[in-house]
Amino acid sequence: MPRKKRPEGTRAPNGAGSIYLGADGKWHGRVTMGVKDDGTPDRRHVKRATEKEVIDAVRALERERDSGNVRKAGQRWKVEAWLKHWVENIAAPSVRYKAAAAYRTAVYHHLIPGLGSHWMDRVEPDHFEKLYGKILATGRKAGTAHQVHRTARTAFGEAHRRGIVTRNVVALAKPPRVEEDEVEPFEVEEIERLMTAALSRRNGVRFVLALALGTRQGESIGLKWKRLNESTKTLTIARGLQRRTWRHGCSDPHACGAKYHKVKPCKETCKRHSRKPCPPPCPPDCASHARWCPKRHGGGLVEVDVKSRAGRRGLALPDELFDLLMAHKEVQSKEREIAGTEWHEGGWMFAQPNGKPLDPRVDHREWKALLVETKTREARLHDARHTAATVLLLLGVPDRAVMGFMGWSNTAMLTRYQHLTASVRREVAGRLGKHLWRPPVVVENTSSPVTRPKWTDVQRQAVNALAKVMPDRWTPVE
């Protein structure tokens, strides 16, 4: 049946799409979607092989326009191009170094190799779910797939806000479940063993600071003497120390690291990567290996600000801890005299024998050695921070004071770092027992000079229940 034609002298209503057969033998459709930034009409064009296909495409554009969720006019983006633009030009300048490094790992190692060839407006949630499955199939943990998911969700969320896509498909994808191991803070006996052993080591006071005050690793090794007020016995946490990856300073990063490129995959009997999956060969345009570049920059140990404004805090030191720091200062003064001209003065509270700052990797190895020496269970150095927060819970310190002490601005961190240890459970059980089963009140019997206990209903029921199972220790009461 032939299509009905519009009566002569009439026109289509404003906003209606037009469909026609072009001279090239293809069906064309045009839809006005709105107005461009320069004030000209934003008229979109679609071309299909059949009339039905172009009708469907025109209707899809009209639905998109009517819903108010219109893709921004301009060239379409592919996933690879958008992710590179987002991570380098949008995310990296606005987030901290480690966050940007995590974004780059997810983008360049997982998202681009897995989904980079898709068009932004054509990729679907199941594409991401299949990618997460492939990541798990390589032997990586679910946390890696979850990090990739969070990165993609953030990148596509920004594309959605800028009108590059009409929806954030990653928000619809289901990432794998991550089962986090419950952190076990150290008990009092473990804390005492670790502190005693730490004080026998060079610079061991830094571990005492972590256990007592909950300082992060970067904060501890980044402390300087100028931030210790000896008159008020307060320590200011303002800066930290972290290791950053070197960046190339040459004009051809790929050629610079040519002799360090991995060109073949590992053998099946590889023992070098026994604790993690073998890395794949370097891509053809690999620009890594900057640590060997003769013009490298931006890497090594770098002093940075603390994580947040709340993280910049002042801590009042217990007298015992202040005395330990003073004794450590005397030891360091003697080391400075011995080093002489080899000493690099940086004002570091905890330094190498030549005055240079401590490396986080060396610090980590010393912590592991301390655990072995004291026969303490395997634990992260960051677990000392959980321990300090839990001790404050046990001491009954108000939540607001705990947040200021630990450098938190969000109350959610309380539930993350404070744990119900065996000591806390025993304390709660003791208080509960004293409240419900307090000692009976002794009253005088008016009919006899002998006094008798006055039991509450809860006490009477508890004693009678115990008397049934342990008659040799408990006597029923009326």
User: Does one domain contain both 310 and 375?
Assistant: yes
Which of the listed residues 369, 394, 419 is the one where a domain comes to its end? 394
Is the pLDDT reported for residue 3 higher than 60?
no
Q: Average pLDDT in the 61-66 region?
A: 76
Nearest C-alpha neighbor of 94 from the set 154, 28, 50: 154
Is the pLDDT reported for residue 209 higher than 60?
yes
Domain carrying residue 53: 18-66
Q: Average pLDDT in the 312-324 region?
A: 91
Return the H-helix or E-strand segment holding 241: strand 239-244
pLDDT tens-digit profile of 255-311? 998 888 888 888 888 888 877 778 888 888 888 888 889 999 888 888 988 888 888
Is the pLDDT reported for residue 372 higher than 60?
yes
Contact between residue 168 and residue 153 where contact means Cβ atoms under 8 Å apart: yes
Which of the listed residues 379, 394, 409 is the one where a domain comes to its end? 394
Query: What is the number of other CB atoms lying within 10 angstroms of the CB of residue 235?
Result: 21
Contacts 24+ apart (CB under 8 A), 348-351: 348/221, 348/223, 348/224, 348/225, 349/206, 349/223, 349/224, 349/225, 349/228, 349/325, 350/203, 350/205, 350/206, 350/220, 350/221, 350/223, 351/203
Contact between residue 317 and residue 237 where contact means Cβ atoms under 8 Å apart: no
User: Does one domain contain both 307 and 236?
Assistant: yes
CATH number assigned to the domain comprising residue 92: 1.10.150.130
pLDDT at 70: 65
pLDDT tens-digit profile of 107-131? 999 999 999 999 998 899 999 999 9
User: Does one domain contain both 60 and 83?
Assistant: no
Contact between residue 47 and residue 26 where contact means Cβ atoms under 8 Å apart: yes
Decide if 6 is inside a domain: no
Is the pLDDT reported for residue 411 higher than 60?
yes
- Written as six digits, the tokens of 157 are 């969320």
Distance between start and end Cα atoms, the chain: 99
pLDDT at 80: 94
Contact between residue 197 and residue 161 where contact means Cβ atoms under 8 Å apart: no
User: Does one domain contain both 99 and 147?
Assistant: yes
Nearest C-alpha neighbor of 353 from the set 369, 370, 334: 334
Nearest C-alpha neighbor of 50 from the set 12, 22, 76: 22
Q: Which amino acid is at 161?
A: R
User: Does one domain contain both 327 and 390?
Assistant: yes
Decide if 129 is inside a domain: yes
CA distance 409 to 310: 6
For the chain, the helix, strand and coil percentages under 3-state DSSP, each to the nearest 5: 45, 10, 40
User: Does one domain contain both 217 and 308?
Assistant: yes
Residues 6+ apart with CB under 8 A from 242: 97, 98, 218, 301, 302, 304, 360
Is the pLDDT reported for residue 97 higher than 50?
yes
Number of domains in the chain: 4
User: Does one domain contain both 464 and 368?
Assistant: no
User: Does one domain contain both 98 and 193?
Assistant: no
User: Does one domain contain both 94 and 238?
Assistant: no
pLDDT at 1: 44
pLDDT at 371: 95
Decide if 257 is inside a domain: no
Decide if 200 is inside a domain: yes
pLDDT at 271: 82
Contact between residue 202 and residue 327 where contact means Cβ atoms under 8 Å apart: no
pLDDT at 202: 93
pLDDT at 402: 86
User: Does one domain contain both 46 and 102?
Assistant: no
Is the pLDDT reported for residue 448 higher than 80?
no
* C-alpha 350, offset from chain centre: 27
Decide if 61 is inside a domain: yes
Is the pLDDT reported for residue 63 higher than 60?
yes
CA distance 217 to 247: 24
Residues 6+ apart with CB under 8 A from 307: 96, 240, 407
Mean pLDDT, all residues of the chain: 85
- In sequence order, the β-bridge partners of residue 119 are 78
Kindly list the distances between the CA atom of residue 196 and the CA atoms of 191, 368, 373, in Å, as whole numbers in the listed order. Answer: 9, 15, 11
Which of the listed residues 147, 172, 197 is the one where a domain comes to its end? 172
Higher pLDDT, 343 or 56: 343
Q: Average pLDDT in the 429-457 region?
A: 59
For β-strands 27-35 and 18-21, DSSP reports them as: antiparallel
Task: Please list, residue by residue across 201-215, b when 16 or more beta carbons sit within 10 angstroms of its beta carbon and e when fewer do.
Answer: eebbbbbbbbbbbbb
pLDDT tens-digit profile of 164-194? 888 899 999 999 988 877 788 888 889 999 9
Is the pLDDT reported for residue 16 higher than 90?
no
Decide if 155 is inside a domain: yes
Q: Average pLDDT in the 373-387 region?
A: 92
Return the H-helix or E-strand segment holding 33: strand 27-35
Is the pLDDT reported for residue 438 higher than 70?
no
Decide if 3 is inside a domain: no
Q: Average pLDDT in the 413-421 region?
A: 80
pLDDT at 465: 76
User: Does one domain contain both 222 and 315?
Assistant: yes
pLDDT at 14: 59
CA distance 207 to 220: 8
- In sequence order, the β-bridge partners of residue 453 are 442
Decide if 277 is inside a domain: no
User: Does one domain contain both 84 and 155?
Assistant: yes
The percentage of residues in the chain with a pLDDT greater than 70, rounded to a whole number, is 87
